[in-house]
Structure 1
Amino acid sequence: MARKTDRSISRPLASDWSDFELMTLREACEVFLGGLLEPRSLRTEVRKGTLTLTRVAGKDFVTPSAIKEMLRLCRSDQKDHASMNAPHAATSRGKSPTRASGSSEMDRLRLAQAAARMTSLALKERSLPT
């Protein structure tokens, strides 16, 4: 990933941003997704309809609330779509079916990892003195 933006350096935590503050796609990737995804991945989510984009003067922006909603929509516990590329396979224990890995499965895993990273970053925030 390219050099971090000044705003993401000065405000590295998700809690440093208000829910409806405009941020660039790069800033969103750095702050909310821990650098696990690139801006092009967010543009893919815009095309899929899971991320709301704001375009001002030809520049693309998102809000923290839009990123949170995208992560909610991308949760893997949603009903799986039928696909010829991802047949069901049994796990090694044979107790529950899992989907075979594919490119869309990798995207799903990356988003789940990004959500987990966002949660861990929020837990690392400054706590009140005791």
Structure 2
Amino acid sequence: MRNWVASASSQSTEQDISEKNFLRLLQEANLEGLTQNIRERKKYAEYIFWMVCVWLVTVVLLVWLNGIGEIYCYNFLDVFFRTGVKYISFSFHLSDAVLITLVTTATVNITGFFLVVTKYLFPAPGRETTPAPPPLEE
């Protein structure tokens, strides 16, 4: 009877150690997942930031070109081809409807990207994307 009690006690101790080990491994895996998630969030937030920057520069450039209307550039190829044309003229004009659409979509895209990235990087309390593991019992 004494051996049975001793063996039962050692089995339950091994089971407790196994459960604690499992919970510790679960917490480590969860922490690693959260760390990777934060790293990926930062990376894609930076990608979206640069995409929005390029989009804004493009919109500003198009509006600026439309405001200038016509650009005269020196023909540096005349030295090679001897065309006799010293200056080249570029004209650029967008209709008012196109400009309004361009500026409106740029504003909506920037606001939308900002909101999506902000909500993803800083979720509201209680809306975390991964559940927290149970605490270790000591």
Same fold (TM over 0.5): no
Between Structure 1 and Structure 2, the one with more strand by share is 1
Of Structure 1 and Structure 2, which has the larger fraction of its residues in helix? 2
Larger RCO, structure (CA 8 Å, separation 6 or more): 2
Normalising by structure 1, report the TM-score.
Answer: 0.29
